[in-house]
Each structure stands twice: as structure tokens, then as C-alpha cells.
Amino acid sequence: MEGSTLYVGNLTYSVTEEQIKELFSNYGEVKEVRIIERKGFGFVEMSSPEEAEKAKEELSGTVFEGRTLRIDEARPPRPKREFRRF
């Protein structure tokens, strides 16, 4: 794994950043958690790619708050498109 940020999908809408931080802290230092409200996914930044890989291997496919977690390495953000008006 190249990066240390993970995509975490299939979250319940009621999950908190603190709950996710607690879950991932079992696999290393959590630097940041960002949950996208009412979308069912978020991002977790670990302190190293090795810790991110360990968390991904251990948590992907596990059940958390009644949902099966989908975890993958986060992709870089896409550049924003310009909208032109004619």
C-alpha cells in the first residue's frame, strides 16, 4: 500500500468519527477520521502505510454496527470540473 489513507464504505448513517477512530486505533495511530454525512462512507488516515495495510487486512469484510465494512486504499481526489455557461 502506498498511502496511509483508507476509504471506509458501507457505514451506518449514525456512526460517529469517534467510533471509527476507536475501531481503527487497534491497528495503529489514527491521524484523522472524516465521515461523509448521510452517504455511508468516510476516510481514515493512519500514521503509516503499514498501519493502514494492517487495518485494511483485519477490518475489511468484518461487521461493524450491523453492516459489513468495505475498506480500500483511498484514491486521490479528482480535480473539480469547470462548468461553462453558454
Pairing of strands 63-64, 41-46: unpaired
- Residue 53 has a pLDDT of 97
- Residue 78 has a pLDDT of 77
How many whole angstroms separate alpha carbon 4 and alpha carbon 45?
6
What average pLDDT does this structure show over 52-81? Answer: 93
* CATH superfamily to which 5-73 belongs: RRM (RNA recognition motif) domain (3.30.70.330)
Q: What is the pLDDT of residues 3-54, one digit of tens each?
A: 899 999 999 999 999 999 999 999 999 999 999 989 999 999 999 999 999 9
Report the candidate in 73, 67, 53, 65 with the shortest Cα–Cα distance to residue 18.
Answer: 65
Q: pLDDT-derived band of residue 56, with 50, 70 and 90 as boundaries?
A: very high
Give start and end residues of each alpha helix (H) in the chain: 17-24, 49-59
